[in-house]
Chain A
Amino acid sequence: MSPRELAVRYGFLVLFAALVIYFALAAPGFVSPQSAVFVFQSVAITGVLALGVTATLVVGGFDLSIGSVATSSMMAAAYAMVVLDQGVFVAVAACLAIGIIVGLINGFLIVYMRVPDLLATLGMMFLLVGLQRIPTEGRSIAAGMTMPDGSVAPGKFSEAFLTLGRHRFDFFTPNLVPVSVVVLIVLAVLIWFFLEYTRFGRMMYAVGSNERAAELAGAPVKAYKIWAYVISGIFASIGGILLAARLGRGDIASGNNLLLDAVAAALIGFAVLGASKPNAFGTAIGALFVGVLLQGLTMMNAPYYTQDFVKGAVLVVALVFTFALSAKAKR
C-alpha cells in the first residue's frame, strides 16, 4: 500500500488514538472505566440516531427528521405515562409506532410522491416539531403537570421505564454500564451485520450506488428505500425512548442538535478505514470520536463554543479524507 492509501485507510483511526492519548495526558481522570462509560453514554442517543440515518445514506437518501422523531417519541412516551397513566409497554410501543409511521410516511413521500429526500424529511421535521406540542398545547410533560383544562395529570413515569435510563449493568466494576450504552452497542452490531453481511444490506448499497442497475437486477428498489426510512425512524424513536428515560420527563424540543450531531457522526464515518461510503462501523467510530472530543474538552474546561468549533473542524477533516484523498473520489 502506498503512503497515501495508508493515510486514507488508517489516518482517521490514528487521529482518534492520538486524541485519546492526548486527553489521557492532559486531563486527569480521563482514563478510567467510568470515563469510558461516560463517553459511550454521552453519545448513546446521537449514536443510535446516527446509525439510523446511516441506513438512509446507504440507499442514497437522507433523513432530516430523525431529531424531531426522537423528541416526538420522547413526548409520546411522557404523554402515554403521565397523561394517559399507561405503563412501560404502552409507552415504548407508542414511541416505536411513531418511528415506524414517520418512516413509512417519509418513504412514501420520497418514493411514490417523488419529493426529494431532503425536502420531504425537512417537511416532516417541521411537522413533528409542531405536532409534539399539540396534545399539551406546548407544555413540557412532567408528573403532576397541569393540563390545558386545568386538571392535574394523573400518571407518572413508570419505574420500569426510568430503569431504561438509570439502570446500570455490572461490568468489571458493579453498576458500570448504563442501559443506553448496551442499547447503542447492540444496535450498532445489528445494523453493521445487517448492512455488511445480509443480502438486504448489500442490495441497499446497490440501490444507493446505482438505483437503475439495482432495479434492472430485479431489486424492489422502492421497498428498499422505504425500509431504509423505516429503519431510520425506528432508530430515532429508540433514541427518543432513551432520551425520555434519561430526562424523566417530556421536554418540548426540536431535536435539531441531536440531528446535527448524528449526521456529523455518520459523515465522519465515511472517513473511517477509507470506506468513502456510509457504513455502520464508521458511524459508531464517528459518534465515539465526537464523544471523546467533547468529554476531553469539557474536562479541560473548554467553553461550549470551542466544542462546536472543534466538532466542525473534525467533520471538515473527515470530509477531506473522504472526498479529496481517497482513491475512489479521484475517478
Chain B
Amino acid sequence: MAADAVFRIAGLKKSFGPNQVLSGVGLELRSGEVAVLMGANGAGKSTLVKVMSGVHAPDGGAMMLGGRVFSPKSPAEAIRAGVVTVHQNINDGVVAALDVATNLTLDRLSGKGAAALFNPRRVQREARAVAERMGLDVDLKASIADLSLADRQMVAIARAMAHEPKVLILDEPTSSLSSAEANRLFSLIERLKEHGVAILYISHRMSDIRRLADRIVSLRDGAIAGTFEARPLDYEGAVNAMLGRTVQHGTVEARAAGETVFTADRLAIAEGVLPISLTLGAGELVAVTGLVGVGKTALAETLFGLRAPRAGTMTLDGKAYAPQSPRDAIEAGVFLVAKDRAENGIVGDFNVYENMSLPFLRRISAFGVSRRGAERALARGQIKDLGIVCRSEKDELATLSGGNQQKVMVARWLAQPARLMMLDEPFQGVDIAARRDIAAKLRAEAAGRATLIFVTELDEALETADRILVMSEHTIVGEHRNGAIDMDRLLAEVAGQKRRAA
C-alpha cells in the first residue's frame, strides 16, 4: 500500500454565519488508495468537498497537495492543480443542452489555449478517446437532455477522469446508477488506483463501501470521529463512529395484512409488458424493489394518476379506482411522496410549514383564505413527531439537511389520513438515522391504511417492509414475506434471471 499522503488536510475549519460546519478536520489521502468518507447528513461532508474543490475558502487550517500548499480560489484552479470532483447533483456536472461529445470535452473548449473555432470533428475524436478509455457506452451524438440520470452521471465522471487527476473526489456517485453501471464505475476506480490516483469516495451504500474501501473515515459533527484501516475493515465500527450510536441490525417483525384496501388487476404500466396484479391490505407495509429503470416509478405514477395504464383496472376499498390526475388520487386518499425531492417535492421559495401544508391547503383554508395559525400548529406537530431538526417551522427548507428535508416531504403527506400511502425512494440521500426515523414512523402509523414503498436498495426493503415485491422489466416477478426470505431467489429475481429461465 502506498504510504505517501498526496493530499493532506489539517485543522480545517469552516463556518456559515454562526453555524460551524467544520471544526478542525484532519484527513490524508494516499495515492492508489480509496478512502471512503462516511457521515450522516449534516455532518459536513458536502462542505468538506466544497472546500477541497475550491468552491468555498476555508476559515482556518491548511491543505497540502504533493507537499505544496493547496489553496484553490476557484473550482477551475483546483482542477488545474489536479483535484477533480464529481458532485452529487448530477446536473451540475453536465450541460443539458449540449451533446455527449461536447460535454466530455467541455473543459478543453473553455480552458486556456483552446482554439477559438469549434471543430466538431476534433471534438468527436477527442470525446471518443475519452469514452473508450472510460469504457463509456453512450451515443456521443446524443443530447444530454435525452439521457437517463445514470448515463448523465457516467458522462460527468468520464469527463472528470479526462483530466487525469491526482486526487479524485466522488460524492455519492452511485446514488442513481444501476448495479451494472456501478460495476463499470468500480472497475474504473480500480484502474485509477493502479495509476496512483488518490480517491475520496463519499457514500451511504454499504455495498459500495464493502467493495471499494481501503480505509474508512467517519465524519461526525464537523470533525473526524474515527479512521479505520486495519484489515479486515471494521464496518460496524465505522458506522458506529459516524452515528455515535450502535446501529441495530434487528429484523422486522412481519405483520399480516388487514382488510383489502387496494387491488390492481392485470395492470399494464407500459406498452408490451406483462401485466401486474396485486393486493394491498390495511396495516401492512409493502416494499417494491428492483433495479433502477425497471418501472418502479412508473408503477407509482400509475397508481397516483400521473400516467394512464395501458390495460387493467384498479380498485380502492372495493370501488373502481381510475385517477385521471394526482388531484383525483389525493381526493381518493392515495398519496405519493415522490422521489428526487429537489425536483419533485421541495418548493424552494417556501418555508417548512408552507411546504408541509401544500397538498392539503384547501382542507386547512376557510373560504379560500389560508389559516396560518392552523398550518403552523400542524407543522409543529409533525416536526415533533418526526424529530425534524430545525429552529422553527418558519425555517427555509434549504437550511435543513437532506435527511430533514426528506422528513418534511414525508410529513407533508402524513398530515392527513391516507388509504394508500406510497413513497418512491424515500431514503434517497438520507442518512441512516433519518432513514430509521422515517421507517419507524411509517410502521407506527401503518394501521388502517396500505403503505407501499419503492426502493432500489434491498437493505432498505428488508429493514422496513412486511412484504417485499420484486420488479423486473416493468412487471412484478416475485413476492416474499419478510422474516423468511430466500435471499438467493430474491436476488435472482432482482437480476431478472427468473423470467429469462421461464
Contact = CB atoms under 8 A, between A and B. Distances in A.
Contact of B358 (A200, A217, A220): A217
A199 B361 contact: yes
B478 interface: no
Nearest to A212: B344
Nearest to A277: B349
Interface in A181-221: 197-200, 202-203, 205-206, 208-210, 212-220
Interface residues on A, range: 20 to 34
Contact of B362 (A199, A205, A210): A199
Contacts of A216: 304, 306, 326, 336, 338, 344-345
A2 interface: yes
A198 B369 contact: yes
B368 A198 contact: yes
A224 to B, nearest CB: 12
A331 interface: yes
Nearest to A216: B338
A208 B348 CA distance: 10
Q: Which of A2, A202, A206, A216 has the most CB of B within 10 A?
A: A216
Contacts of A200: 368
Contacts of A210: 343-348
A218 B327 CA distance: 4
Contact of A202 (B331, B336, B344, B354): B354
A206 B350 CA distance: 8
A215 B304 CA distance: 11
B303 interface: no
B345 A213 contact: yes
Contacts of A199: 361-362, 364-365, 368-370
B57 interface: no
A13 B213 CA distance: 56
A214 B348 contact: no
Contact of B369 (A197, A218, A331): A197
A205 B348 CA distance: 10
Contacts of A209: 347-350
A208 B326 contact: no
A206 B370 contact: no
Contacts of A218: 325-327, 329-331, 359
A201 to B, nearest CB: 8
B486 to A, nearest CB: 36
B396 interface: yes
Given A213-B344, A218-B330, A220-B327, A205 B359 contact: no
A214 B331 CA distance: 15
A199 B354 CA distance: 11
Nearest to B306: A216
Interface in A208-258: 208-210, 212-220
A219 B364 CA distance: 15
A56 to B, nearest CB: 16
B17 interface: yes
Given A212-B344, A213-B347, A216-B338, A197 B370 contact: yes
Contacts of B412: 217
Q: Which of B326, B330, B331, B354 has the most CB of A within 10 A?
A: B326
A143 B198 CA distance: 84
B172 to A, nearest CB: 19
Nearest to B338: A216
A34 B156 CA distance: 64
Interface string B319-340: 0000001110111000010100
Contacts of A214: 347, 358
Contacts of B304: 216
Contacts of B327: 218-220
Nearest to A220: B327
Q: Which of A203, A209, A217, A220 has the most CB of B within 10 A?
A: A217
Given A2-B17, A216-B344, 9 more contacts: A198-B370, A199-B362, A205-B350, A206-B358, A209-B349, A212-B344, A213-B345, A217-B326, A219-B327
Which 7 residue pairs spanning A and B have beta carbons closest together? A217-B359, A209-B349, A218-B330, A199-B361, A218-B327, A199-B365, A217-B358
Interface of A: 2, 197-200, 202-203, 205-206, 208-210, 212-220, 277, 328, 331
6 contacts: A198-B369, A205-B349, A209-B349, A214-B347, A216-B326, A216-B344
